Amino acid sequence: FAGGLAAGPLNHHDATPATALTPVAAVQADKPDAGKLIPHGVQGTQSRIDLNDEQTANAKAIIAATKKAGLPERAAVISIATSLQESKLENLGHLGEKNDHDSLGLFQQRPSSGWGTPEQITDPEYATLAFEKGLKQVDGWQDMPLTQAAQTVQVSAYPDAYAQWEQQAADIVAQHWN
């Protein structure tokens, strides 16, 4: 679509002013390419939750940290899908009896496993950068299914669970990347 606009209209007698089309092209160009967000298509049935303001702010923090790390949109999709699975994008503190060992934060990272201090891993930027540091160590993470990339970093008891959040994570990144 944008390529056709760049080349100009085919009908030189078109009455529609070019300025009327410019905002549409600008909006389209700002959105990340769906092929970059979900290069393999989604796997299995997809889940979706409505996000409150806190969850949206945490998603935006993950995107900002991804950009800070110099990683592409796909890394943000993997990170957000992982956080959706682990905490529903809620920055969880210690949950007492309901807690999985000493897991904390957006990614349910464990201080006892070397992810950082409780204060660090409940900081959205730190937690994201820690997760993405692990992601960068996975050979070929950019070219593997989301659930495989996330599982290699997280080592979850439910390795296939990350896949169900891929579409919503991609939608969040498409909405908030720019």
The average confidence (pLDDT) of the chain is 81
Q: Are 93 and 104 in contact (CB under 8 A)?
A: yes
Residue in 86, 178, 177 with CA at minimum distance from that of residue 131: 86
Q: Residue 39 above 70 pLDDT?
A: no
pTM over the 0.85 mark: no
Q: What pLDDT is attached to residue 100?
A: 54
CA angle, 49 as apex, 46 and 54 as ends, to 5°? 140
Q: Please write the tens of the pLDDT for every residue from 83-134.
A: 999 999 999 875 555 555 678 999 999 998 999 999 999 999 999 999 999 9
Q: What pLDDT is attached to residue 20?
A: 41
